[in-house]
Structure 1
Amino acid sequence: MCGIVGYIGMREAAPILLAGLQRLEYRGYDSAGIALQNGGLPFMKQKGSVGALQAAYEESPAKMAGATLGIGHTRWATHGDPSDRNAHPHMNTDEDIALIHNGIVENYSLLRKELISEGYVFRSDTDSEVLVHLVDRIWKTDPSLGLESVVRAALRHVEGAYGLCVISPRDPDKIIVARKGSPLVIGIGEGEYFIASDAAPIVEHTNKVVYLSDGEMAVVTREGYQVKTIENIETEKVVTELDFSLEKIEKGGFEHFMLKEIFEQPEVMRDVMRGRVRIEEGRIVLGGIEDYLDRLKQAKRIVICACGTSWHAGLIGEYLIEDFARIPVEVDYASEFRYRNPIIGPDDVVIVISQSGETADTLAALRAAKERGAMVMGICNVVGSTIPRETMCGIYTHAGPEVGVASTKAFTAQVIVLYMLALALSKGRTISHDEMRLNLKELSQVPGHAAKILELDAQIQTIAESFKDARNFLYLGRGYNFPVALEGALKLKEISYIHAEGYPAAEMKHGPIALIDEDMPVIFIATRDSSYNKILSNIEEVRSRKGRVIAIASEGDTEVARLAEHVIYIPQASAQIMPLLTVIPLQLLSYHIAALRGCNVDRPRNLAKSVTVE
């Protein structure tokens, strides 16, 4: 959601900024812009793609020439429509201050009225523009102040979230950055520094970074950087080495990042388990929670908080932990948790799940749980992000960078982590050593099963061709496969813009059955488990109403083939393992339907990869 890049060094800044903005396109955006410092403060911004901005730059590079300092931004509209005028950077009236901003200024309406009453003219509909005028007003009050002091003073008037960069030739050769609720990272090069919303634009230049924490500001020059709190207290930062390479954020010959990431899942599954699954020893090694494992086992209740795809993983986690460890689990939407005055105390454990580690609602849930004295644990993919820093303990998923907005490999990585956590909690309590070894052995076979399912890609593409023009889909599953039905429906609507709903199969009779006719595709997850016969009955009910049935079934099943129009066969596994397998055909089906419809698969409309606002 929105993207920030900044550069200061000895190289031409514009090409670095434009390339960095392209690396951030996956976050979702609708306009882009850059501002440079070369004695003046030339800038350009416009609605549309970074490619269009690049073309505009190439038409008139002279005005940007010689600049070795600059900032860039991709905007995801919140206040004001996607347009040239609402794009960032925002400039003051004299056009000698440029500011880019991620987040939301909650008191912008009040600030805007104050500034208009003092003669300031607004050229956009955004909340962000108040920030640049606020900086300008304070600076004009006391021109002797430096840019750092002026920005610090301005932020004391701001309520809400921000990740921002400010530059000005009035105090040249520096970039002021500040963070509250919206991530920022500083990349450390040789005589040059990079600023970004995440590490994707930085990794091709350096693998050494510093992550800003909430309430921190930094002054970045060619000589180095200094980090202080908003209250002007200097802080020491730890330099982190990035754990991925440029190749990880390239398409690698695939047409879309999403397809590449679907096909990466067998490798990712192995990475998640590497060093953690000890089959012969009959144990799970999770270093990030080892010191807290006893407390986790003693929890009277576990509450899982997440959003979107991570929430679906959390639902599977509920089944797994209750099945294996027999600890009561509740799963909450993080966006609702903080507002419903939850009953949480010191005997509870709250697990927050987020791919990015920066999801605003999930962070708010984390902080609300800590305030109530609960132990808070994180499951996250991005090393150094806010959730790992603010939780007491946690587990990294090691899925690698996920560029496609619709999450795929991050979901399966989260489910494997939850499976391992459930087994770790059950050891010595509810399952024997031999049972542990059997479960670990089955888990270790999942990457091979996933690879086999991916060989069905051509078959699934053929099925997609039959249903690409459907207007609605219904996804049905029972038990562990109910959350997979939800996830499958979410994937389809996210990237193809087809309305889709996931339901527990038994709930079909309580409403959704009214929708079924010859135009309604119904996807059943009908693998052989304890509810298999009931699923067959549900399929019969749909067939009798002329619904078109697509089934995900276990290899060797002939009953489903008799009933369904299309069957996708997957390897047989236990109910606990099945979500890791049944979700892959649904990911591929969504991908191919969206691609056949000509949709922007990696960057679906209105969506953002990292949702850093409420």
Structure 2
Amino acid sequence: MCGIVGYIGSSNARNIIIEGLEKLEYRGYDSAGITLYNLSSNLFNIYKDIGRVSTLSKTTHNILSNIGIGHTRWATHGKVNAVNAHPHQSSSGRYIIVHNGVIENFKQLKNQYLKNHTFISETDTEVIAHLIDSFSTIMDVEKSIVSTLNLLQGSYALLIIDNKDPNTIYAAKNKPPLIIGKDEEGVTITSDILALAGYAKTYHVLADKTFVVSQKDSVKLYDYDLNEIQVQFEEFNFDIKSSEKGIFEHFMLKEIHEQPTVIRRIMKGYIHDSSININQSLLNDLKQSSRIYILAAGTSMHAGIVGKKIIEDLIKKPVEVHIASEFAYNTPLIDPNAFFILISQSGETADLRTCLTKLKKQDYKTLTITNVITSTLARESLYALEIFAGPEIAVASTKAYVAQIAMLFILAYALSDKAIDIQYELSKTAQAMENFLLSDSHIRDLVVKYINTKHAFYIGRGMDYATSLEAALKLKEISYIHTEGFAAGELKHGTIALIEDKTPVIAIISHESINLNTRSNLEETVSRGAIPIVITLESLKSDGDDIILEDVHPLLTPILTILPAQLIAYYASYELGYDIDKPRNLAKSVTVE
């Protein structure tokens, strides 16, 4: 969940680390810290505090350094305060460390090896630094670090500095991502490829249980027995403009407006003259399976619910959708001839990694659908498909969600009887999205007029219910308005008791078969004092409907109907004055369970 950046080289480490951490604040932003080797004093100095990376930028503005490590935190152990912020030091102060992940056995390690040590913070990370320091009294630095790594249970991406050696950064990883970038100026090590933009010509994604010894002109990789690993660095190609806001005030608004382009990009990636460019072995394995299981979390799970309907409609094969964190530890009975689709924007979701480990042990065939084709889930699954959404900086996912649905549609189409003109239908949907996004002033007006309450509800049936779940998540996670998505027909079975005077109830209606039913359910809430808002299609509109969208293929309506809901969430948060791109308590890439 945390962001990590380290640098060693001939450029100013302070600038590279600060800029990298700012790009990674979506991974965590309750506190931040940095250690830099000050070339004026020839000492490592540590700066850390609660709040954003901007605080570090101010306190370190005059420091010239050639080596350092930095961290932006999403708290897992200990309160949000300066003491618990990273970097952490060993008892003697010799070792300085930043860490992403969770050490599950840190209390046992304290009791077994560190009974006489005094700890400053409440974190599991400090235990790692103390262990390295303790071992270094009887062995060299590299063996001390590896001996510590072999004791750790859990997840970690680590950068370590020995303040007796200002020419080396040590690194190690197990589960959370860690990537090394190189150019002629030096070496950057980070938890996200975004931080390498402008500072790397080649890169390498570290495998689990890899130990790194990095100097400005050399990078050596080892296993945990200190056997050297030979690795190839790949050419780094990244459009730095894709990680900037451009003309938009917030990344979320930019990413909402990028969605038509994302649909066209995914079409270009997978559709060539109406033929589908997907691994034939993957398609064969899907065809031969008797049941498909979709595993995901949060927004990706909502895409999976839509995908279930799409797959079942197009290829008539049963699909189950499971929350990854539940499946991992409460696994249901599984069809022995099952195929598993894992959906993750980052490709690093810890719950899904736990599921994948279990599935691989049982020899199930797996596909990861992700936005990051270099991610752990993509590399460890049997198959992987990239959604081509590009960098998604705002914590609240928008374009990755529609890309996931589009990818599931293309995948299902490839297995179907091809009765749909897929190029036409996806192109039509992208154009309808673009047309809607030409003007959003009416959405803001709706928000100002009606969405100024403590509670709100979305309702829908079928695929509209799945959209209601995602719409409610968007509104609650960035505006903090308590919002729920309900199956419209379930209101009368208890939840209508929540309706109070002037409570906004937003109905999503995109299919003729449920049009009148959902409208009837909405009327039931109006009779209890609710304010009704309707999102519907041109062919289904009635007098008084609030948001009218163009007609698209019935299986693609969720890609279109989510747009106004995303904008409702955006403007609700905007009007309340909240930090839209970085909502409280949340992080983009959930790399801990």
Shorter-chain TM-score tier: over 0.9
Q: 2: CA distance between counterparts of 1:481 and 1:95? A: 57
- Name the counterpart of 1:399: 389
Q: 1:207 to 1:383 in 2, by over 3 A?
A: farther
> Is 1:326 aligned to 2:320, yes or no?
no
Tell me, what secondary structure is at the counterpart of 2:16? helix
Seen in structure 2, the aligned counterparts of structure 1 residues 207 and 273 have a Cα distance that, compared at 3 Å, is: farther
- Provide the residue aligned with 1:203 in structure 2: 197
Residue 250 of structure 2 is aligned to residue 256 of structure 1: yes
User: Residues 480 and 575 of structure 1 are in contact (CA less than 8 Å); yes or no, is this contact kept in structure 2?
Assistant: no
Cα offset, 1:341, TM superposition? 3.2
Distance (whole Å) between structure 2 residues aligned to residue 467 and residue 599 of structure 1: 18
Residue number among 184, 189, 210 corresponding to 1:190 in the alignment: 184
What is the distance in 2 between the residues matched to 1:376 and 1:456?
41
Q: What is the DSSP-based 3-state SS (H/G/I as helix, E as strand, rest coil) of the residue aligned with 2:554? A: coil
The one-letter amino acid of 1:418's match is L
In the alignment, does 2:105 pair up with 1:122?
no
Q: State which of 535, 553, 562 in structure 2 corresponds to 1:552.
A: 535
1:535-564 per-position Cα deviation (integer Å, ceiling 9, x unaligned): 1211221222221011101125452x34x5
| TM alignment of 1:484-503, pairs within 5 A | 484-503=467-486
Q: Is the 8 A contact 1:244 1:401 kept in 2?
A: no
Q: CA deviation at 1:581?
A: 0.3
Please report how far the alpha carbon of residue 230 of structure 1 lies from its aligned counterpart in structure 2 after TM superposition: 2.0
Corresponding residue SS for 2:397: coil
Is 1:113 matched with 2:111? yes
Give CA-to-partner distance per residue, 1:136-189, whole Å, 9 cap, x none: 0000133xx1x2221111111111110000011324411111000111000111
Compared CA separation, residues 444 and 333, structure 1 to 2 (3 A)? same
Secondary structure of 2:102's aligned partner: coil
Q: Aligned partners of 1:243, 1:465: CA distance in 2, in Å?
A: 42
Partner of 1:585: 564
TM-score (norm 2): 0.97
Kindly tell me: are residues 346 and 193 of structure 1, through their superposed partners in 2, closer, same or farther at Cα, counting changes over 3 Å? Answer: farther
Give the match for residue 20 of structure 2: 20
Q: Residue type of the partner of 2:277?
A: V
| Code of the aligned partner of 2:420 | M
1:595 aligns with 2:585: no
CA contact (8 A) 1:91 1:132 kept: yes
**Matched letter for residue 513 of structure 2:** S
Q: In the alignment, does 2:550 pair up with 1:571? A: yes
Where does 1:256-295 land on structure 2 (aligned, <5 Å)? 256-278=250-272, 281=274, 283-286=275-278, 289-295=279-285
Secondary structure of the residue aligned to 1:605 is: coil
Tell me how far 1:49 sits from its aligned partner: 1.1
Shift of 1:469: 2.2
1:528 touches 1:572 (CA, 8 Å); kept in 2?
A: no
Distance 2:2 2:420 in 1: 44
Note if contact 1:40-1:96 (Cα within 8 Å) is conserved in structure 2. no
2:340 is paired with a residue whose SS is strand
- Structure-1 separation of matches of 2:336 and 2:423: 32
CA distance in 2, matches of 1:354, 1:436: 27
**Preserved CA contact (<8 Å) 1:92 1:136:** yes
Q: 2: distance between equivalents of 1:584 and 1:176?
A: 45
Q: Secondary structure at the match of 1:274?
A: helix
Structure 2 partner of 1:11? 11
**1:467, distance to aligned residue in structure 2 (A):** 3.0
Quote the Cα distance in structure 2 between the aligned partners of 1:241 and 1:362: 28
TM-score (norm 1): 0.93
Deviations 1:9-47 (A, max 9, x none): 012211211111111112122111111235432111111
Q: Which amino acid aligns with 1:285?
A: N
C-alpha contact (below 8 Å) 1:307/1:334 kept by paired residues: yes
Q: Are the aligned partners of 1:353 and 1:379 in contact in 2 as well (CA < 8 Å)?
A: yes
Q: Counterparts of 1:240 and 1:413 in 2: how far apart (Å)?
A: 26
Structure 2: which 5+ residue stretches go unaligned? none
Local SS of the residue matching 1:163: strand
Distance in 2 between the 1:275 and 1:380 partners? 14
Contact kept? 2:169, 2:215, Cα under 8 Å? yes
| Superimposed CA distance per residue, residues 261-318 of structure 1 (whole angstroms, 9 cap, x where no aligned partner) | 000011111001114224x54x3222xx322211111111110001100000000111
Aligned partner (choices 21, 44, 47) of residue 44 of structure 1 = 47
Question: What amino acid sits opposite 1:212 in the alignment?
Answer: L
Which secondary structure does the structure 2 equivalent of 1:254 belong to? coil
Match of 2:142 in 1: 148
State how far apart, in whole Å, the 2-side matches of 1:414 and 1:260 are.
18
Q: Kindly provide the CA deviation profile for residues 218-251 of structure 1, in whole angstroms up to 9, marking residues without a partner as x.
A: 1111122111222323323332334431111110
- Following TM superposition, by how much is the alpha carbon of 1:93 offset from its aligned partner in structure 2, in angstroms? 2.6
Is the aligned partner of 1:160 residue 2:144?
A: no
Q: Per-residue CA shift, 1:321-347, capped at 9, x if unaligned?
A: 100011110001111111113334652
Corresponding letter in the other structure for 2:45: P
Q: Is the 1:115–1:133 contact (alpha carbons within 8 Å) kept by the matching residues of 2? A: no
1-structure distance, mates of 2:177, 2:30: 19
Q: Which residue of 1 aligns with 2:74?
A: 76
Q: Is the 8 A contact 2:294 2:342 kept in 1?
A: yes
Q: Secondary structure at the match of 1:122?
A: coil
**Cα distance between partner residues in 1 of 2:213 and 2:340:** 36
Assess if the C-alpha contact under 8 Å between 2:428 and 2:552 holds in 1: no
Q: Quote the Cα distance in structure 2 between the aligned partners of 1:207 and 1:500.
A: 45
Deviation string, structure 1 residues 486-513 (Cα, Å, up to 9, x no partner): 0000000100001111111111111111
Cα deviation 1:89-124 (Å, max 9, x = unaligned) = 101233221100000111111222345522x11111
SS of the aligned residue for 1:201 comes to helix
- Cα distance in 1, alignment partners of residues 237 and 345 from structure 2: 15
Aligned position for 1:217: 211
Q: Does the alignment pair 1:57 with 2:60?
A: yes
**Structure 1: how far apart are the matches of 2:163 and 2:510?**
65
Alignment partners' CA distance in 2, 1:498 and 1:242: 41
Question: Residue 586 of structure 2 aligns with which residue?
Answer: 607
Where 1:531 maps in the other structure, the secondary structure is helix
**Cα pair 1:215 1:229 within 8 Å, conserved:** yes
Mapped contact 1:26–1:609 kept (Cα < 8 A): yes
Change beyond 3 A, Cα 1:329–1:558? closer
Consecutive unaligned residues in structure 1, runs of 5 or more: none
Identify which range, 455-464 or 2-11, moves more after superposition: 455-464
User: Is the 1:360–1:612 Cα contact (8 Å) retained in structure 2?
Assistant: yes
* 1:317-376 C-alpha deviation (Å, 9 max, x unpaired): 110110001111000111111111333465211110101010100111111111112101
577-586 vs 533-542, which moves further: 533-542
Match for residue 32 of structure 1?
A: 32
RMSD, aligned α-carbons: 1.6
